[in-house]
Every structure is written in structure tokens, then in C-alpha cells.
Copies of this chain bind each other. A is one copy, B any other.
Amino acid sequence: MNSATSQHNSKQDNSSQHNSKRGPVVGVFDSGFGGLTVLRALLPRIPAANYVYLGDTARLPYGAKSQATIARYAVESARFLEDRGCEYLVIACNTATALALEDIRQAVSVPVLGVIEPGARAAKRTVAEPGGDVLVLATAATVQSHAYREACAAVGLRATEVACPLLVPLVEEGWTNHPVTREVLRIYLSQALAKCAPQAVLLGCTHYPLIADAIEQTLRELGSDAVVIDSAEATAEAAEAALTSTIAVSMPASSATFECFATDSVEKFQRLGSLFLRRPIGQVHHLDLGG
């Protein structure tokens, strides 16, 4: 059905690929292009790593799908990355992290990092008082899972989660600096600020860093001085800490390599992906996950 299944017995071989001459193989998974903002944050932080990025673009967006469907898709994708030789997985997708992180961890034998816990911990460092308010902007599925609320509660923060379904389409339309996007942000954020007085605003979707400036500006216009926290940056930082401690290798001084897999059109991935990664993407491999 997919190459993950057919190569499932090659796990042991893959780990032997990792030696002192090359950096760790890090898998980065997202339903689409948004996770490339996490890869972009990873590249300068862990320059010795070799990255394998998988965008499950044939089945995106995950944001409006049910938990069972999202978990099935995410597990298939994670298994592919493990079978591809990845020694560490970053789930660079808020929806998949919110709804399928435990399923993924049970399905693979390598360490798995999601984007939500690092985001919550970064918020904790920003919010001065205990019990301080955090505003989380995310997709409908992420909000409904309350994964951010739980992760924030675990570090002593009170989170208000607000679904912003129009922001992904606006970013994908290329309207990152557009009056309509600012108007939509004014509507979403003024509704949110009526419910809470946040000290930090967590971007709980990997598309949102592309409009982080507009979000910050709109907050200021609405009288809020909340700090905007990018989960992509926070996740890259956590991955760096984890990799240098859990994978006991001396990082070689080579520069990072990455290869990309997409389940839908590779041309579209090259074109749109470059906007998220902010550098050209060379060859993209097509992958059929049977969906």
C-alpha cells in the first residue's frame, strides 16, 4: 500500500547509517507546506542534520477532519519517515500534534516531538505572573482538541483558544500583507480580546508565522501589548536541545541537507513550498500513501 509498509523491516539498518561522519537524520512532517516554517527554523539551529520533509499534500488540510482520520494519516506518514531512516521526528503540524501525537509515538520507535508543548513552554517563559493568560490562535480541529489548553495548564498558564479558519486560506492566497487579512485579524482578535487579557499570543498553526507582523500590529491597534510567540521557533529550539542530549553524537561541521516528499503534485510543492521555506526547493519526490 505504501513504501512505509514494504520497508517496515529496514528500521534496524537505518539506525546503523548514523555514524560520526554525518549528522542525525531528522524527519519533519506536516499535512502540507506550513511545516516548512519549522524546517526553516531548524536549518540554522541544527545545521549538521540531514532532514527528510514529508508534506501529506494529497490529503490536506487536516484541520477540518475527524480525530480517527487524522491519526490514521499521521501514523502512515510517521512510519514512512522512520522507515526512511529518520532517527528523530518533528511533527510540524499543530493539528496532527493535537490529535495524533500519542498514536504516532506508539507507532514508531524513535523519539517524536510535537509543536504544542514547546509552544506552551515558550509562552511560560514570556508570561510573568503565575496563572497568566495566553491566547492561542489555531485551526478549528486544534482548538476543539484543547491540546494547547492542556499543555498550557501543565506549565501553570490559562489558555484561551480561538479558531481562525480563514487565516490559512488567506496566507495561501498570498494575502499576507493585505487589507482583507488585517480586517479578518481585527474581527478574530477583537472577539478574542473580549474574552481574555493575554500576555502572550501563541501562533498555533504553522501558516501563521507568515502573518506574525500583521497579528502583532493588530494586537497593538486593539490596545494589547501581548508578545507573539511562534511555535515553529519554539519547536526548533526544543528539537535542538533534545537532539544534542538524546542522540549522543558529536555534530559534524557540515551544512544541512534536506529532501522533500509530497503525496500530491511535486511541482506545486516546489513552487509554494519555497515561499514557506524562504529558499528554493530542488527535487521533490512523489509519495503514494494509498489515500
Contact = CB atoms under 8 A, between A and B. Distances in A.
Interface of A: 57-60, 64-66, 69, 165-166, 168-170, 172-173, 179-180, 183-184, 187, 263-265, 268, 290-291
5 contacts: A58-B59, A58-B66, A59-B291, A165-B172, A290-B290
A266 to B, nearest CB: 9
Contact of A69 (B58, B65, B169): B58
Nearest to A184: B180
Given A60-B64, A166-B173, A180-B180, 4 more contacts: A66-B264, A69-B263, A69-B264, A290-B290
B290 A66 contact: no
Oligomeric state, in copies: 2
A172 B264 CA distance: 24
A216 to B, nearest CB: 21
Contacts of A59: 58-59, 291
Given A59-B291, A184-B180, A66 B268 contact: yes
Contacts of A184: 180
A41 to B, nearest CB: 25
A57 B141 CA distance: 14
A64 B179 CA distance: 24
A19 to B, nearest CB: 38
Contact of A183 (B60, B66, B180, B263): B180
A70 B192 CA distance: 37
Q: Can you list the 8 inter-chain pairs with the closest CB atoms, starting with the nearest?
A: A291-B291, A66-B265, A169-B169, A58-B69, A66-B264, A65-B264, A165-B173, A166-B169
A263 to B, nearest CB: 8
Given A66-B264, A291-B290, A180 B173 contact: no
Nearest to A179: B183
Contacts of A64: 60, 172, 268
Nearest to A187: B180
A252 B268 CA distance: 50
Nearest to A59: B59
A263 B66 CA distance: 10
A187 B263 CA distance: 33
A66 B59 CA distance: 11
Contacts of A291: 59, 290-291
A190 B65 CA distance: 34
A182 to B, nearest CB: 11
Contacts of A183: 179-180, 183
Nearest to A167: B169
A58 B188 CA distance: 27
A203 to B, nearest CB: 19
